[in-house]
A = this chain, B = another copy of it.
Amino acid sequence: MSTLVLLFDLLGTFVFALSGGTLAVRHRLDFFGVLVLSCAAAVSGGIARDVLIGAQPPTALADWRYLATAMLAGVLTFYRHQSIEHMRNPVQVFDAAGLALFAVLGTGKALAFGLSPFAATLLGMITGIGGGIARDLLVARTPVVLQAELYAVAALVGGSVVATAHVAGLPQSPAMVIGALVCFGLRFMAIRHGWHLPAATPPDDQR
């Protein structure tokens, strides 16, 4: 199982890094800026989780494979920007897969560190959405996760499957698979069918 988890973790890292690299290219950052945004998008969520549960140094810094994967994605984005823009829809699907995986893995790691199911679910969500927030803040725009359709909610639902199984004493591996599938499914349907939460409608003159 552990090798499989690592493999999926690196896959999630890769696709999140693509999203960061693409944004950097659009903002005309230089080669280093593209690498930084790729890495920030890929590892910020996991680093935030590890700092918050006291698991220092964070895995994403201690294990070189995470940043190497993120940088590979950054280099690809820099030199093959056109091709990646063309497969935007596949990237969104991979991104949903990355979100699902990071959410359940993050929840599992927090549970293993003794956090309550409530806190662990939150940390799973932070693992999943942290990268996108860091990526957007670095180019000074409001994080899209705050505006997108069912993004963080899907992460919460996926993580809560893992946390609930933990409370019920059920085995963790199948719970993670189910949680990831539920999260991925929710996010995928939200993209496909434009599902979204109601938006607040302030009077026009107040902003």
For residue A173, CB closer than 8 A to chain B, the reply is no
Over the window 64-94 of chain A, the binary record of Cβ atoms lying under 8 Å from chain B Cβ atoms (1 yes, 0 no) is 1001000000000010010001000000000
Copies assembled: 3
| A119/B57 in contact, CB under 8 A | yes
Chain B: minimal CB distance from A8 (Å): 23
Known: A62-B116, A200-B78. A142 touches B28 (CB 8 A): no
With the chains together, A61 CA to B122 CA distance in Å? 8
Chain B: minimal CB distance from A183 (Å): 15
- Which residues of A in the span 18-33 have a Cβ within 8 Å of any Cβ on B? 24-33
| A28/B81 in contact, CB under 8 A | no
With the chains together, A29 CA to B52 CA distance in Å? 26
| A32/B152 in contact, CB under 8 A | yes
Q: A24's closest neighbor in chain B, by CB? A: B200
Over the window 114-147 of chain A, the binary record of Cβ atoms lying under 8 Å from chain B Cβ atoms (1 yes, 0 no) is 0110110011000000000100011111110011
4 cross-chain pairs, A with B, having the tightest CB-CB distances, nearest first: A54-B56, A33-B146, A31-B197, A25-B200
16 A-B residue pairs with Cβ-Cβ distance under 8 Å, sorted by A, are: A25-B200, A26-B207, A27-B142, A28-B200, A28-B202, A30-B197, A31-B197, A33-B147, A37-B146, A57-B119, A62-B119, A67-B122, A133-B138, A137-B138, A138-B142, A138-B143
Task: Spell out A's residues near B (CB within 8 Å).
Answer: 24-34, 36-37, 47, 51-54, 56-58, 61-62, 64, 67, 78, 81, 85, 113, 115-116, 118-119, 122-123, 133, 137-143, 146-147, 151-153, 196-202, 206-207
Given contacts A27-B142, A61-B115, A81-B202, 12 further A-B contacts (CB under 8 A): A25-B200, A26-B202, A26-B207, A29-B199, A30-B146, A30-B200, A53-B56, A57-B119, A64-B119, A81-B200, A138-B142, A138-B146
